[in-house]
């Protein structure tokens, strides 16, 4: 299964959710690949403890290869050679790189936004792939939405985010209609949900009343998220018995129950 975690708003929890669900998936014994498509490289940092050095393997190498067409045998852009092992069993990452920025306009001009999907279809040996995206609908987030089977949408209980949510659902529907019929919205994940406060409750109730696919498991705010980012250890490894880890496990179970 290929999942993309996307919302064009920054700071809603895309990287946190990508890495923590992927880490739980790996603990469940499934070989898991995270692909970091955000130039900020937060998932890369979270899983590897560093942003990668210039010479190392990154997703930018893959996209550069996509631009260097060989007349003899086409281009040989694959993902196998840029996969990096994390310290956690069964969990692998393709790191992001700042070169993504300068590559973007050429990739767009040459319509390379199906290349990631083609490469993932050829990739063997992984049970599941999680795609982390930048906080904008650009070439890379489009490539991820075209490559994925399911889309998870983090939502941060802010009324501006609610308006943006409708645009986002529209964008995903359009990509599904035009480019990727397999793409389904798996659910909206309410992150940093404050149970005691009125406004977040009302916002979530309104979304549910409008028929939006809000997942039942909501993620609480906790300092453990920041601490686990700093420690470069997903919660299931950093604080295996913490309430927040249980919430992520419950979210994982909810997504996988069907």
**Cα–Cα distance, 258 to 255 (Å, whole number):** 7
Phi and psi at 23, nearest 5°, equal -65, -40
Closer Cβ to ligand ADP, 107 or 218, answer by number? 218
Question: Pick from Mg ion, ligand ADP, none: which does 186 bind, CB < 5 to 8 A by kind?
Answer: none
Q: Cα-Cα-Cα-Cα dihedral of 19, 24, 30, 31, to 10°?
A: 30
Using an 8 Å Cβ cutoff, are 3 and 130 in contact?
yes
We find the least distance from the C-beta atom of residue 72 to ligand ADP, in angstroms, to be 41
Question: Pick from Mg ion, ligand ADP, none: which does 222 bind, CB < 5 to 8 A by kind?
Answer: ligand ADP
Question: Pick from Mg ion, ligand ADP, none: which does 120 bind, CB < 5 to 8 A by kind?
Answer: none
Q: Does 15 bind Mg ion (CB under 5 A)?
A: yes
We find the least distance from the C-beta atom of residue 15 to Mg ion, in angstroms, to be 3
Closer Cβ to ligand ADP, 64 or 224, answer by number? 224
**Only segment of 33-41, 86-94, 114-122, 220-228 that touches Mg ion (CB under 5 A):** 33-41
- Residue 216 burial class via C-beta count within 10 angstroms: exposed 0-12, middle 13-18, buried 19 and up: exposed
Closest CA to 25 of 123, 124, 144, 130: 130
Question: Pick from Mg ion, ligand ADP, none: which does 153 bind, CB < 5 to 8 A by kind?
Answer: none
Closer Cβ to ligand ADP, 171 or 222, answer by number? 222
Closer Cβ to ligand ADP, 10 or 213, answer by number? 10
Task: Catalog residues that contact ligand ADP under the rule CB under 6 A.
Answer: 10-16, 42, 135, 191-192, 219, 221-222, 225-226, 229
We find the least distance from the C-beta atom of residue 190 to ligand ADP, in angstroms, to be 10
Rounded to a whole number, what is the largest CA-CA distance in the chain?
Answer: 63
Alpha helices in 68-114 (DSSP H): 99-109
Using an 8 Å Cβ cutoff, are 218 and 204 in contact?
yes
Does residue 88 sit in helix, strand or coil?
coil
Site for Mg ion in 93-112 (CB under 5 A): none
Closer Cβ to ligand ADP, 30 or 242, answer by number? 242
Using an 8 Å Cβ cutoff, are 19 and 43 in contact?
yes
Distinct helix (H) and strand (E) counts, the chain: 11, 7
Closer Cβ to ligand ADP, 33 or 225, answer by number? 225
Question: Pick from ligand ADP, Mg ion, none: which does 216 bind, CB < 5 to 8 A by kind?
Answer: none
Q: Does 9 bind Mg ion (CB under 5 A)?
A: no
> Which two structure tokens, joined as six digits, stand for 77?
């852009």
Does residue 94 sit in helix, strand or coil?
strand
């Amino acid at each position: 299964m290929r999942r993309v975690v996307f919302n064009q708003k920054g700071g809603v929890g895309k990287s946190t959710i990508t890495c923590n669900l992927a880490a739980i998936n790996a603990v469940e014994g499934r070989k898991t690949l995270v692909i970091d498509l955000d130039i900020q490289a937060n998932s890369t940092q979270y899983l590897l403890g560093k942003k990668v050095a210039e010479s190392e393997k990154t997703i930018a190498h893959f996209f550069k290869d996509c631009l260097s067409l060989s007349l003899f045998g086409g281009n040989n852009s694959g993902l196998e050679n840029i996969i990096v092992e994390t310290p956690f069993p069964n969990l692998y990452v393709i790191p992001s790189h700042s070169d993504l920025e300068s590559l973007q306009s050429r990739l767009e001009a040459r319509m390379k936004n199906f290349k990631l999907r083609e490469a993932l279809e050829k990739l063997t040996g992984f049970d599941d792939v999680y795609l982390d995206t930048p906080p904008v609908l650009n070439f890379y987030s489009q490539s991820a939405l075209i490559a994925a089977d399911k889309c998870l949408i983090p939502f941060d209980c802010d009324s501006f985010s609610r308006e943006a949510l409708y645009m986002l659902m529209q964008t995903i529907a359009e990509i599904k209609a035009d480019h990727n019929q397999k793409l389904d919205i798996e659910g909206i994940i309410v992150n940093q949900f404050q149970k005691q406060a009125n406004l977040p409750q009302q916002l979530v109730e309104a979304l549910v009343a409008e028929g939006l696919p809000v997942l039942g498991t909501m993620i609480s705010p906790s300092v453990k998220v920041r601490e686990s980012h700093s420690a470069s250890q997903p919660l299931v490894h950093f604080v295996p018995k913490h309430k927040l880890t249980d919430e992520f496990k419950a979210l994982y179970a909810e997504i996988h129950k069907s």
